[in-house]
Amino acid sequence: MHAIHIKEHGGPEVMEWTELPDPVPGPGEALVRLGAAGVNYMDTGARGQGAPGWAAPLVLGAEGMGYVTALGEGVEDLAVGDRVAWYYHPGSYAELLAVPADSLVKVPEGISDETAAALMLQGITANHFSTETYAVKPGDTAVVHAAAGGVGLLLTQMIKARGGTVIGLVSREEKVAVAEEAGADHVVVWSGGGFEDRIKELTGGEGADVVFDGGGTETFRSSQLALRPHGVHAYYGPIMGVPTFRPTDLPNSILLSYPVMSHHVPTRDALLRRTGEIFDMVLAGKLKVRIGGRYPLKEAARAHADIESRRTTGKLLLLP
């Protein structure tokens, strides 16, 4: 089989289309033939500087969907031919994967392969953000950074489904219509910090109830200043930089949350519950996935360059 492998960390140029031995499923694992892999900013961080569990040499990629081709010992709730998806399995930029069966969910009929691949990591993230990090209620106002991106588009729709108002931030004028199509009530074109006055203006001087901030150090302070007293700053942008601050720097008695990925689905039951909710929203027509780009798996480096350019919208997929 072939996979996208790196020998050292660096720019997209370190990504190599490499022939590797076919994996063999061990006990509790399923062998999966890739149908589509999702591209995430997390992948660019793993490639660029690494992270715990992502030290070179390695195969990149974390999420995707595919077809079960063989079962390891002890796997009883899957069958050869099943369509399955996973939200986190290191090494997903590969034609074949041996994945723990407990990490796989069956894809319902009515959900396309591309939709399933696009929904897993970012859909679960958006679901966690809008239900537990801050349980959006009717009448709440939420600021969504990168509102035309993969997480932003899904998060906007989930907030609207729960009765909230969305102020979307986008980096370019051409992204406004994309965010509006997802349901954003207001869209502000802004890059970096300094947007808090505009948010206060749009909220009648009150500030937002929650800011979902993946913008990194540049947006950290403005996100906090854009909140009402006791509002929630949900910061999820470590790849974009980790700020330092003192607790006494927090304005308006706001609450700061850092919702980490491992807490999205800490158990198998949580994985099934969240994916079930997301799939049901798609089947009911309440959640639409925008595919912003499709690339051959062997051209993953081009997808990385595009997502890092900040010119893309929606979800980028790699197809074998």
Write out pLDDT tens, residues 156-179.
999 999 999 999 999 999 999 999
pTM value surpassing 0.85: yes
Domain locations along the chain: 2-119+265-319, 138-258
CA–CA distance, 143 with 148 (Å, rounded to integer): 13
Distances from the Cα of 73 to the Cα of 86, 147, 298, angstroms:
20, 44, 32
Q: What is the pLDDT of residues 21-57, one digit of tens each?
A: 999 999 999 999 999 999 998 999 999 999 888 999 9
The tokens of 141 are what?
Answer: 């106002």
Is 282 within 8 Å of 289 (Cβ atoms)?
Answer: yes
Instruction: Locate 76 and state its tokens.
Output: 């009883």
CATH of domain 2-119+265-319: 3.90.180.10
Alpha-carbon distances, residue 78 vs 86, 98, 200 (angstroms): 14, 14, 51
Strands 29-39 and 208-213 turn out to be: unpaired
DSSP structural state of residue 256: E
Q: HSE on the CB side for 225, CA within 13 Å?
A: 13
Q: Which CATH superfamily is domain 138-258 in?
A: NAD(P)-binding Rossmann-like Domain (3.40.50.720)
